[in-house]
Amino acid sequence: MADRILSGMRPTGMLHLGNLEGALRNWVALQDRYEAFYFVADWHFLTTGYEDSSRLRELVREVIVDFLSAGIDPEKATVFVQSDIKEHAELFLLLSMITPVSWLERVPTYKEVQEQLRIESPGYGLLGYPVLQAADILIYKANFVPVGKDQVPHLELTREIARRFNYLYGDVFPEPQPLLTEFPAVPGIDGRKMSKSYGNEIAISEEPDSIRRKVRMMFTDPEKIRRGDPGHPDRCPVFALQNIYNGGEKESISVRCRTGELGCVDCKSALAEAMISALAPIRERRKELMESPQIVDEVIKKGAEKARAIASETLKEVRRAMGVG
């Protein structure tokens, strides 16, 4: 059997170029090489978004549609919604019993999220989210998890929890290994990392006129004030996106920028058109899916059935090992 991989995304809104280039493109490639499980992490959304979950069901569906539009094939990969598989929650509970609080308190993201979102009194869900993440991975006995280098420490905690469980109760879980992936840097329109929390994103389903408008707003090299000034492509967020969406012209763009021949307005215009062309298949596929909701319903239903069958078997092993249930 092929090695199994698992990855997921929180449903915080329609997916953007950072999600596409940082994960989805890779997921599409990996589904041909591994037994792939991709899910929407709606319970993880509640760790910080619990105060307003009124649109959560809608957001979950939007992300599923984006998965499919970007090329995730439900005939090759299992696509499902986390909360449809209650076994995740039970394994989360059982793993919580053996996970030291000190392990959770040392996770850098815990304090980073508190500071970024100005959370004065975080809930247990936020502290315990790495245990839920471990349950998400271990319930399917995933061999690999696609991550960037900066995410390896998060996966290491899952490995530690698996080791602790196996030490206490016998070998049940494989220790999932990182499947290291080089993600291209995808800047937002303000030059920072593209993120919905910064409000600087371009959605993968963005309409052409909206793409043109947002690209026109993008920050550029601060030293290139007017056309004719020499530019520094290596410092320019627009060029970083040219490298992704207009790669065939990047050398020419770089030279013309450095000599001052290419102005920022023309550079942005070329980027917008290249981006519109590259995203056109995703945009068209998304429209088709939105007009055929029964297709999405069937993908979610079948994905849940397949995921639940595997998760339930793993949970039986866990219960036997721990002497519960």
* pLDDT average, residue stretch 251-263: 94
pLDDT at 185 over 90: no
- pLDDT confidence of residue 266: 95
pLDDT at 116 over 80: no
CATH C-level class of 4-185+293-322: alpha beta
User: What architecture is the 205-286 domain classified under in CATH?
Assistant: Orthogonal Bundle (1.10)
At 1, the pLDDT band (50, 70, 90 cuts) reads low
* pLDDT average, residue stretch 78-96: 98
pLDDT at 115 over 80: no
Question: Residue 39 phi/psi, 5° resolution?
Answer: -135, 160
Instruction: Say which residues have a Cβ less than 8 Å from residue 204's Cβ, sequence separation at least 6.
Output: 14, 15, 16, 17, 19, 20, 24, 66, 69, 70, 279, 282, 283
At 16, the pLDDT band (50, 70, 90 cuts) reads very high
pLDDT, one tens digit per residue, over 207-217 is 999 999 999 99
Structure tokens at 145: 């998890």
* pLDDT average, residue stretch 103-118: 79
Burial of 162 (0-12, 13-18, 19+ CB in 10 A): buried
- pLDDT confidence of residue 325: 76
Structure tokens at 220: 């550029």
Q: Alpha-carbon Rg of the chain, whole angstroms?
A: 22
pLDDT at 181 over 90: no
Residues 201 and 188: beta-carbon distance below 8 Å: yes
Residues 195 and 188: beta-carbon distance below 8 Å: yes
pLDDT, one tens digit per residue, over 276-313 is 999 999 999 999 999 999 999 999 999 999 999 999 99
- pLDDT confidence of residue 120: 74
pLDDT, one tens digit per residue, over 17-63 is 999 999 999 999 999 999 999 999 999 999 988 889 999 999 999 99
- For the chain, percent of residues with pLDDT exceeding 90: 80
Mean per-residue pLDDT over the chain, rounded: 93
Instruction: Give the integer Cα–Cα distance in Å for 168 and 152.
Output: 24
Q: Do domains 4-185+293-322 and 205-286 have the same CATH topology?
A: no
User: Domain boundaries in the chain?
Assistant: 4-185+293-322, 205-286
* pLDDT average, residue stretch 115-136: 86
pLDDT at 225 over 90: no
